[in-house]
A = this chain, B = another copy of it.
Amino acid sequence: MSLFRLIPDRPDVVQDQNRPDEKGTFREWLYITIFQATTTAGKIFDIGLFMLILSNIALLMLESVESLAVKHATLFRILDYFFLVLFSIEYLLRLYCVRSAKRYATSFYGIIDLLAILPSYMEFFYPQWHVFMIVRSFRLLRIFRIFRMVRFLDESRVLMFALIRGFRKIIVFLFFVVLLAIFLGSLMYVVEFQHNPGFHSIPQSIYWAIVTITTVGYGDVAPATALGKVIASFIMILGYSIIAVPTGIMSASVIQEEKRNRGKRCPHCHVGGHGSDALYCRNCGEPLKTD
């Protein structure tokens, strides 16, 4: 409960300001159903939209497989039109039910919803665009809608809260990693570039350094000289060790976050951190109220 207050759910607040004034009308009912998940109809709408977006993304994937695209061209075309019509209706309904259509249309999710349908209409009028997968891949942006729905799960709230707490520290850490990669990548370039075509430029060497520090290790570029291998070994061991840093930060974040959620406070001595099944205060022995 209190977490709702701790995470200021800004996008919602913005959209709630967009709720139509008249109470009890169809338009308000539509607004609650489409933009909120508090009523049964709203939950059904959210789950249905979730399924449709996932199906549409699955369709997009299958269309990109050339053998399938050639074989089932007509089926794919029909399904494309089907989703286009559905998402267009959804977009129009959203525009209709909000208080200010302009405010919705210029919001983050409004733009994403538009971008997911607009390019398909352009394809309709300029068929030669059809070859550009790029146009169609705008639909993928709707994945953000899913991210947003999932955010309401309890678990993702704790996770996100831990992420927000640790975020700044992790950004600083990543900045150090990138500086390190620049430095070590350039060093490897100096050592290897005359002997190894894989290290043909500094950006390429930095790419290799990132591949190595993060322990991904594709192997498309690998050191060839003895000195290069020594430096590479050092970089690997470094990457292997410093992965401990974000992990430590995140562990501390999650532990603290859980502590905060867990502890009831004693009404007498105000000692907190009691387990969720504690009945008496561990400090003064007075009973704890259960709520």
Contacts and interface: CB of A to CB of B under 8 A. Distances in A.
Q: Is the interface of A mostly helix, strand, loop or mixed?
A: helix
The contact size tier of chain A is: 35 or more
Contacts of A284: 279-280
A195 interface: no
Interface stretch (A23-31, A32-40, A93-101, A215-223): A215-223
A211 B183 contact: no
B285 A274 contact: no
Given A190-B133, A251-B252, A255-B255, A64 B201 contact: yes
A146 B207 contact: no
A1 interface: no
A190 to B, nearest CB: 5
Interface string A155-179: 1101100110010111111111111
Contact of A250 (B162, B163, B247): B247
Given A177-B237, A217-B217, A66 B201 contact: yes
Given A172-B150, A222-B220, A283-B278, A236 B249 contact: no
Contacts of A156: 172, 176
Nearest to A243: B240
A247 B280 CA distance: 33
B236 A193 contact: no
A67 to B, nearest CB: 9
Given A65-B202, A273-B277, 13 more contacts: A64-B201, A133-B189, A143-B179, A147-B176, A156-B172, A166-B244, A204-B229, A207-B232, A215-B215, A243-B244, A255-B255, A280-B282, A282-B282
20 contacts: A57-B182, A137-B187, A140-B182, A143-B182, A150-B172, A153-B172, A155-B171, A173-B241, A177-B240, A210-B237, A216-B216, A244-B249, A247-B247, A256-B258, A272-B277, A277-B282, A277-B283, A279-B283, A285-B285, A285-B286
Nearest 9 A-B pairs (CB), nearest first? A248-B250, A216-B217, A278-B282, A280-B285, A218-B219, A244-B250, A214-B240, A248-B254, A244-B246
